Amino acid sequence: MNPEDQTHDLALLQLGRRLLADGYRFTTVTPLTHQRNNAREENHQARDLRDIFGWNRPFATELLPEAELEALLSRAILRAHAGLWISEVRWSSLHDHLFVHSAFPTVSNDSVFFGPDTYRFAQAIEEHLRTSTHPIRTAVDIGCGSGAGAILIAKARHDAQVLALDINPTALRFTAVNAALAETENVSAWHSDLMDSASGEFDLIVANPPYMQDSQKRAYRHGGDRLGSALSVRIVDQAMSRLTVGGSLVLYTGSPWVEGVDLFLEHARPLIDKAGYSWSYREVDPDVFGEELETEIYSRAERIAAVVLTVTRLS
């Protein structure tokens, strides 16, 4: 990492610590809900820290101390916006932790997403950690994004070595900041296309991949063909052979339905229905991103469900 990036990320870490000390909390909502909130006349300009770093609203100079404002501007964490200032990042709460991620709206190819899917992904990981008796010495979060999955595992299993893998350098930098803020020394962020850069077997593999078929093929959003389900199937294929005996894959993803057929499960099932493995599958939300059904790509889809697939290696 070059010195400029190091200075920027250190400033992010210091900002995160300042927000934690101030009791800052923010729950990130869907993009449409975010847009609707910000469109209200009284919300066009920020009034407090939640508005600045959660709702990502423009703000006037007097909302931040002069020295802090100048420091954040010099580190490119803030920028000028229509006679006001605006943050280039957002901060979201997950339990007692804060996570830095991309500004709203997330339109850049290297955007790092955090939102309702992250909360559901966290719940799936926590449920597995509560119910599994298999010891976790090694774990990996594929496509780590903000690092939420890796950090949750690392906080729950202090003796585990946890890899946070992503192809997006911005995601790896944000993960490193978030891991430092959470004081998790057992998380390592590595650049990798899925699991290509990681060797060996793992007691726990988790993933919350992009699962939309995005016409612009933005990395944070595009899940490939078959209405965005192809990447998730690819993860299942790679991860199963990398599990220790007794180890599990916990995959949170979206599943498009066409004419009563679950496209993700249809293509994943031949991989998971094999000797030496057990699996479970459940819908955690039957209808997410319904606005996508208005697009040409999803014109034949009935719905997109949020699902959790857990695969355990038995022998």
Model confidence over 104-152: pLDDT tens digits?
999 888 999 999 999 999 999 999 999 999 999 999 999 999 999 999 9
pLDDT above 90: residue 3: no
How far apart, in whole angstroms, are the C-alpha atoms of residue 9 and residue 182? 15
Q: What is the DSSP string of 108-162?
A: STT----SHHHHHHHHHHHHHHHH--S--SEEEEET-TTSHHHHHHHHH-TT-EE
CB 250, CB 234: distance < 8 Å: no
pLDDT confidence of residue 215: 87
Total residue length of the chain: 315
What's the mean pLDDT in 172-200? 97
Dihedral Cα 94, 124, 144, 315, nearest 10 deg: 150
At the second CATH level, the architecture of 116-313 is 3-Layer(aba) Sandwich (3.40)
Q: Please, what is the angle between helix 116-131 and helix 148-156, to 10°?
A: 30
pLDDT confidence of residue 248: 98
What's the mean pLDDT in 78-84? 97
What's the mean pLDDT in 65-71? 96
pLDDT confidence of residue 240: 97
Of 31-40, 217-226, 229-238, minimum mean pLDDT range: 217-226
User: In angstroms, how far is CA 289 from the centroid of its own chain?
Assistant: 16
**Closest by alpha carbon to 213, among 275, 295, 157?**
295
**Closest by alpha carbon to 248, among 257, 240, 256, 259?**
240
What percentage of the chain has pLDDT greater than the value 90? 95
pLDDT above 90: residue 212: yes
Each domain of the chain, given as residue ranges in start order, spans: 3-102, 116-313
Q: Indicate the pLDDT class of residue 195, thresholds 50, 70 and 90.
A: very high
pLDDT confidence of residue 1: 76
What is the token pair recorded at 249? 């894959």
User: In angstroms, how far is CA 18 from the centroid of its own chain?
Assistant: 23
Residue type, position 165, single letter: L
What percentage of the chain has pLDDT greater than the value 70? 100
What's the mean pLDDT in 25-41? 97
Q: Indicate the pLDDT class of residue 220, thresholds 50, 70 and 90.
A: confident
**Closest by alpha carbon to 180, among 139, 220, 208, 146?**
146
